[in-house]
Structure 1
Amino acid sequence: MLKLAGYLNIGIAIAHLIGLFWLEKVFRIFGIEEKMKELSQIHFSFPYVATLLVAMVFFVFGLYGLSASSTFKKLPFLKFGIFLIAGIYLLRGISELVYSILNNFFPTMGIFATLIGILYFLGGLKKWKVKKK
């Protein structure tokens, strides 16, 4: 589960980097075009920098998933990191699910985020389960 979550996050990071070449179209697809236009009025590079930072976060999330699955070297605060990532994904996913129900649209990203959060959470529970004596 953690390995799959790790690879999914690295894939998301790569998708963000590829999206840099068609940034305006990607922003339009995800409904953030207006907010990014506002950012670009401050400085033209802000949407690009923001996308790079988001890609880096997804990449680090991926490394933590791979590290917890013993595919990658052990990272610091591994247990805390896995459950923090799970919490971030679950909070984001569930909040979008609720928002979409209230506003009558299909929550594609909310479902995807919730599923990745579940992968991290259940993978973490499986890895660090407490054994009863």
Structure 2
Amino acid sequence: MGNPLLISGAVLSAGAALLHLGCIVFGASWYRFFGAGEQMAQLAAAGSWRPTFITSSIVLVLAIWSLYAFSGAGLIPRLPFVRLALCVIAGIYLLRGVVGFAFASFAPGGNGPAFWWWSSTICLTIGVVHFVGTWQAWSQLSRVAA
């Protein structure tokens, strides 16, 4: 059936990718709602390419992370370096979660403290899901795909 935590991690990363894609499609109001900062919202409203480029990059990374978690769960074919990739993915989510709490005190990038608290909690949660799922599947991840 697959590792439930890695499946959950894949779905969470895919969901985050879709929400970021929504910011590109729906523009400034979504950037504001999700706390991307007033500068990003204004750039999007002005038709600048920068918010689309930055957000598209995030969408691509999150989609790849989702695929790696699905691969680690055994739901899609084994991707190269799946073990290493899942460790790095979990580490980045965990680091972003922890560091983001420190940012809440001075709110860089035009984002308010609420953005940093919420996004850090979400990233920390997704990181724990990936970490524990990877730990649970570790022995299966070391096997060479047939």
TM-score normalized by structure 2? 0.76
Residue number among 81, 85, 92 corresponding to 1:88 in the alignment: 92
Contact 1:40 1:47 in 2 (8 A): no
Kindly indicate whether residue 39 of structure 2 is the aligned counterpart of residue 34 of structure 1: yes
Distance 1:28 1:12, change over 3 A: same
Matches for 1:4-83 after TM superposition, within 5 Å: 4-29=8-33, 30-35=35-40, 37=42, 44-83=48-87
- The runs of at least 4 aligned residues of structure 1 exceeding 4 Å deviation read 35-41
Residue number among 2, 8, 11 corresponding to 2:6 in the alignment: 2
**What CA distance in whole angstroms lies between the structure 2 residues aligned with 1:19 and 1:36?**
9
- Secondary structure of residue in 1 paired with 2:13: helix
Q: How many residues align?
A: 127
Contact 2:31 2:37 in 1 (8 A): yes
Kindly indicate whether residue 117 of structure 2 is the aligned counterpart of residue 113 of structure 1: no
Q: Give the deviation of 1:36 after TM superposition.
A: 6.2
Contact 2:32 2:41 in 1 (8 A): no
**What CA distance in whole angstroms lies between the structure 1 residues aligned with 2:126 and 2:86?**
11
**What CA distance in whole angstroms lies between the structure 2 residues aligned with 1:96 and 1:16?**
18
Residue number among 100, 123, 126 corresponding to 2:133 in the alignment: 123
Q: Give the deviation of 1:39 after TM superposition.
A: 9.0
Percent identity over paired residues: 24
Structure 2: which amino acid aligns with 1:116? I
Give CA deviations for 1:72-120 in whole Å, capped at 9, x if unaligned.
11111100000100010000001112332x3594411100000000011
Distance 1:11 1:35, change over 3 A: closer
Contact 2:86 2:134 in 1 (8 A): yes
**What CA distance in whole angstroms lies between the structure 2 residues aligned with 1:57 and 1:32?**
21
Contact 2:6 2:130 in 1 (8 A): yes
**What CA distance in whole angstroms lies between the structure 1 residues aligned with 2:16 and 2:91?**
18
